[in-house]
Amino acid sequence: MRVAGMICVDGVTGEPLVQTTVDRPGSPASVTKLMTLLLVLEDIRAGRLALRSRVSVTKEAADTGGSQIWLAVGESFTVEELLYALMLKSANDVAVALAIDRAGSTATFVARMNRRAAELGLTRTRFVTPNGLSYGRGPHDTSTAHDLARLAVVLCSMPEALRFTSAKRYVLRRPMKPMEMLNHNYLLDSFPGCDGLKTGWTEAADASIVTTAKVGEHRVIAVVLSCYSPLGAKPEQRLRDQLAADLMRKGLAKKVAEAAALARATPSPPKNGPPSPPEVGFWAWLGDLFSF
């Protein structure tokens, strides 16, 4: 097994809870789509776009390979539909369609991704695609576990992002050929409180995941970047998921322990009503004091 980096952070503050190597660069593959999601959602928040806005499919988008929903030139879909496809199906063609719609070209959109990464302090991150799809010797999108955790903290502060990342199933209503899409993040079913965020795998980049769970008042985010196994793709992905689940378990246990320690150290507020009688030891001391 080989992993570029692993980290679990507090989902609100970004405080590291469990970590190994966090600044070694790796290729995030489809985890890259989290930045595409963020930029689209920020455009919606700014009023430049709406979930019901329609996006037309260009030839460049339709020709994109890898995981896809087989877009056809001239089709159009709402932004909402495409965001479900982006997160559940990890559709590379959808990422290109959104990129062209938002910036006029994929190159311009990728430049915007890198500017936003710099604004967020992701100093070891460099995007070259809107979807993480790259081949052979690259160039590849690159990031670190620490940088991806910081990006995830921003997304977890947006309920609208978790709406898409937590969905387990969505049916894309195409004329005559509806498509059922199932989320690739199997931790949504197996880890209590898991509601995101994104998996990734390519032969060149190996397996990565950014995932999050909220249990009670505690939210944690785990990142496993570029997990390699000599046994092949499926074992790599299973190992990646196991490592991420273990990180979240340890992170949540630490948050619970911290909360318990804080509760023990915090004095209880005074109760209303008559004061409690002194302990028995007090009366013994008082009796000894006045004994002659």
Q: Which residue in the block uniquely carries the two structure tokens 């619970």?
A: 256
30 carries an active-site annotation: yes
109 and 130 in contact (C-beta within 8 Å)? yes
Per annotation, catalytic residue among 27, 67, 89, 90: 90
Q: How would you write 238-288 as a 3-class SS string? A: HHHHHHHHHHHHHHHHHHHHHHHHHHHHCCCCCCCCCCCCCCHHHHHHHHH
202 and 33 in contact (C-beta within 8 Å)? no
Per annotation, catalytic residue among 27, 30, 67, 143: 30
90 carries an active-site annotation: yes
- Residues 28-42: b if buried by 16+ CB within 10 A, e if exposed: bbbbbbbbbbbbbbe
Residues in contact with 250: Cβ distance below 8 Å, sequence separation at least 6, in sequence order: 8, 17, 18
190 carries an active-site annotation: no
H helices of 157-214, in order, are 159-165, 187-190
Strand (E) or helix (H) holding 186: none
CA 39, 45, 48, 50 torsion: positive or negative? positive
Per annotation, catalytic residue among 33, 89, 198, 255: 33
Token code pair at residue 253: 């246990």
* Residue 240 to residue 199: CA distance in whole angstroms: 9
Paired strand residues for 171: 180
Rounded to the nearest 5°, which phi and psi values hold at 17?
A: -110, -45
Task: Give the catalytic positions in this structure.
Answer: 30, 33, 90
